[in-house]
Chains A and B, each alone.
Chain A
Amino acid sequence: MLDDIVEQPILRTESLTKQVNTGEAQLTILQDINLQVEAGEAVAIIGASGSGKSTLLGLLAGLDLPTSGKVHLDNIDIFTLDEDNRAALRGKILGFVFQSFQLLPALTALENVMLPLELSAVANAQSVAQKLLDRVGLKKRLHHYPKQLSGGEQQRVAIARAFATDPKLLLADEPTGNLDSATGIQVIELMFELNREHGTTLVLVTHDEALSRRCSRQIRLVDGKLARKVT
């Protein structure tokens, strides 16, 4: 029965290009990127340092503006929206995990996880956040501030925050980049587990080939251009 429904890709780009002006020269960071991610997929974007991975991820989320091209998120052309509406869309369908955690230092672990829920005016923010923190093994750390937590713990808070709004699409930017390998493995396991439980689509930026192989598909960036599919 599922086959009858024409599945729309959750994420699709059209000739996405990003150039920056360095003052002396025009630098092309991304050139003519066309890609498509289906719902439920786990896609790894891989490439060497400086190949444009993180820029691409930022554009996919509408955190930055492209020089040209389009991004369709859940069938919405996000750059036709203004910044506030893009933010609202992010709040509804996107989750983020960053390399450097990006927790708000003023808020406790619990409040950090509650924040996206409160921004979208979810009623039972606190119990949802508590459950998630419980799920990531931080039941006893609810009222700790980020600086009282280890790197691995902070990233687990970030993962709990990313899943709090039950997003359709999770974007992860080198989630293990700031962690030692043992902790990194734990965090990745947790992320994939939650991904399965929530049925979320995952787009993961990494330079770690081993990690990328855990995804169903790999996209390689070379000097800002899409290389041939690896899989």
Chain B
Amino acid sequence: MTVLQDSYSRSTDGDERERARCLGLLARAPAELLEAWAAGLGATEFEWLRQPEQGLVMVQARAGGTGERFNFGEMTVTRCVLRLRSGRTGVAYVQGRSKRRAELAALADAMLQDPELAEAVRNGLIAPVAAHLASESERSARKAQATKVEFFTLAHEDD
């Protein structure tokens, strides 16, 4: 996992950055959106290069985004690699233990590399997932905002 991330974040290649963005979205995509996309897909033949397997990944963080790196905690990750009939290879690392989500995410990644299929996957899956994740993060930000305490007012009363 670190290998992929490192090579993408250091890369100046726009295609690779776009793929990293899509892989990041697919990693967090909810099962319902993936299944809805897959339902309209029909039968797609592929072979496994690496069957879905579950494991732990150490997540690192920096306090305040600038401090020293520390191990934040382990998270469960399911990963797999598959190859389509056309020879395109798709990889997936997804949160949680769902092998099905990993399979669909890898399928989407493989199709995104095929110029003929990429547009349909972008419209049918990537865009809805991006919109869903954006609204989720906005919702949780709004919820957090509502609990904000104005210490400023308290300080005033003491005067």
Q: Do A and B come from one complex?
A: no
Give residues in B with beta carbon < 8 Å to A: none
Give residues in A with beta carbon < 8 Å to B: none
